[in-house]
Amino acid sequence: MKLSQRIQAMQFSPIRKLAPYAAAARAQGVTVYPLNIGQPDIETPETFKNALSSFHEKVLAYSDSRGLDVLLEAYRSYYKGWGMDFEKEDLIVTNAGSEALTFAMTAICDPGDEIIVPEPFYTNYNSFAALAQAHLKPLTTKAEDGFHLPSKEAVEALITERTKGILISNPGNPTGVVYTEEEIRMLTAICLEHDLTFIVDEVYREFTYDGLKFFSPFQIPEALEHLILIDSVSKRYSACGARIGLIASKNKELMQQVMKLAQARLCVPTVDQIASAELFSTDPSYLEKVNKEYAERRDILYAALKEIPGVICEKPTGAFYIVVKLPIANAEEFAQWMLTDFRYENQTVLVAPCAGFYATKGLGQDEIRLSYCIQKAALQKAAQVLRHGVEEYQRLH
């Protein structure tokens, strides 16, 4: 069988590819702290579970390709709370944010077209771009700047005749950066001046800390025709397994064309849509408690990391990730070694090497992304294990 060059050129997920080594370590009785993936351990709201248990339809039928009305209306009401006014025709429910991103890139890009994205970026953006036969053009950001954006001139220098859009995650995965209103307005202005599409991945909207205020370009009326919103219930309500996402835009022509893609895959799972609609009726105190919990976890992990000699990192202000520069040459080799060769009191950690979060070759080789999605006591132990692992690896290498 001859496989396509496209599939062979795609990368494996740096977040998941070390999972078999972690599984092998666990099979040996080793405690492995999973700091590699953004899988919240916060309990999913009862509203979701109650909806599942009350589903008694005799036939589990297709839903509309746009999505169930009950979920679309729940989304519309939710966005009004953020000052964002969508009609039903502006929304399409997707199989998680992943499908929404694939739809967005497919809709605006022809083969060989480019999308500018700040790096490091969520590694699966690479895969979604590959499916659309598009290329990501990296806008490098740096830890010493808190991963904030460079100047407008630096962004515009990347624009070519093949550039179709700009894509950001805000708050950012993997960096935890929360872009300022000034930064969002700058990117919006660039898109308007150069007739580009601005794709905003806002799945971590609720997770900002230290009193920072989240700002969306959908709060800029003159920009609405140029904007695509990517959203998901996965992280907001700790419902990753539901795989319910959304693509939204006030651009009627765009959404009409995206409907072709939605119809091609028929629909999103019906029961998950019904249950996810109920998530939006969860008491607001749920998200307040979750935000407070993640802020405390961040503080614990950040303080512990700063105590490791040679480690460089900035305190993240959003999402639940932190990028860490290690005093070693090859983070991927280190990450695998931690699972196969290193034990501290029969414990080790699973981390995500950062090279796969960059499009620029050579960057991220000495960096890892850590997720603080585990309990505070476990985070403290994981940081202790990581410290001993770094010291031992340095001694051996």
Along the 397 residues of the chain, how does pLDDT read in single tens digits? 999 888 888 878 777 889 999 999 999 999 999 999 999 999 999 999 999 999 999 999 999 999 999 999 999 999 999 999 999 999 999 999 999 999 999 999 999 999 999 999 999 999 999 999 999 999 999 988 999 999 999 999 999 999 999 999 999 999 999 999 999 999 999 999 999 999 999 999 999 999 999 999 999 999 999 999 999 999 999 999 999 999 999 999 999 999 999 999 999 999 999 999 999 999 999 999 999 999 999 999 999 999 999 999 999 999 999 999 999 999 999 999 999 999 999 999 999 999 999 999 999 999 999 999 999 999 999 999 999 999 999 999 8
Query: CA torsion angle for 269, 274, 275, 278 (degrees, to 10)?
Result: 150
CA distances from 164 to 143, 189, 229 (A): 27, 15, 16
Name the CA radius of gyration of the chain, rounded: 21
Is the C-alpha dihedral spanning 341, 346, 352, 353 positive or negative? Answer: negative
Q: Residues 350, 337: contact at Cβ < 8 Å?
A: no
pLDDT reported for residue 144: 84
Query: Please, which residues bridge with residue 198 across strands?
Result: 166, 227
* 354 secondary structure, DSSP code: S
What is the predicted pLDDT for the residue at 10? 81
Angstrom distance (rounded) from CA 204 to CA 231: 9
Q: What is the CATH number of domain 46-279?
A: 3.40.640.10
The domain defined by 5-43+285-396 folds into Aspartate Aminotransferase, domain 1 (3.90.1150)
Q: Which structure tokens are listed for 250? A: 């006030």
The confidence score (pLDDT) of residue 255 equals 98
Dist CA 171 CA 176 (whole Å): 6
pLDDT at 7: 86
Domain range annotation of the chain: 5-43+285-396, 46-279
Other C-beta atoms lying within 10 Å of the C-beta of residue 185:
16
Span between the terminal Cα atoms of the chain, in Å: 42
| Chain centre to alpha carbon of residue 98 | 9
* Total Cβ atoms within 10 A of residue 268: 28
Sign of CA dihedral 250, 206, 127, 200: positive
CB 117 within 8 A of CB 137: yes
Task: Give 353's Cβ-side CA count (13 Å radius).
Answer: 23
Beta bridge partners of 139: 118
pTM of the model: 0.96
Question: pLDDT value at position 12?
Answer: 80
Topology alike, domains 5-43+285-396 and 46-279: no
Residue 95 is predicted with a pLDDT of: 98
